[in-house]
Amino acid sequence: MRRPKFIAAAFSLLSLLALGGCGSDGSQELGVAVCAPVCVELNFNETNQFTAKVFNATTNNTVTWSVLGGDNNGSIDPTTGLYTAPPVLPASCAITVQATSNEDPTRIGRASVILPKPGDPNCVCPAPAADQCAP
């Protein structure tokens, strides 16, 4: 009688996978994905253009960009997503930028900026992930 338990467990898992997620998987839920790259390594004062895609928005598919952690972590244009790295190393070499849906501010996407800190193995981007904005 192990087969019915296995089938029930498999059905439960498939149901969770079908219903779960942040919405960036094409489901009906609203979601925000930061487009590749989601991690960039920059030097001080360098810039990077971030982009995001809002999934399943009904009236407003725009985002507002922000930098988490305060002014020492650089700046980002809230409309365009153009990030400028700080002139000196802040408390951490890893900085988080965030895209917030203007339709539903509870829906966010995040990316990382890594600044140079020689000798620190944590100050590198991980291997690139799949682009969540690709068709």
Q: Is the pLDDT of residue 6 over 50?
A: no
Whole-angstrom distance, CA of residue 125 vs CA of residue 132: 17
23-114, which class in CATH? Answer: mainly beta
pTM score, whole prediction:
0.76
Joined together, the tokens standing for residue 105 give 């501010």
Percent of the chain's residues with pLDDT above 70:
79
The domain ranges of the chain are 23-114
Q: What is the pLDDT of residue 25?
A: 41
pLDDT tens digits, residue range 26-70? 445 779 999 999 999 999 999 999 999 999 999 999 999 999 998
Sheet of 63-67, strands arranged across? 39-41, 108-114, 94-101, 63-67
**pLDDT band at residue 122 under the 50/70/90 scheme:** confident
Q: Is the pLDDT of residue 119 over 90?
A: no
Q: Environment class of residue 126 by beta-carbon count within 10 Å: exposed (0-12), middle (13-18) or buried (19+)? A: exposed
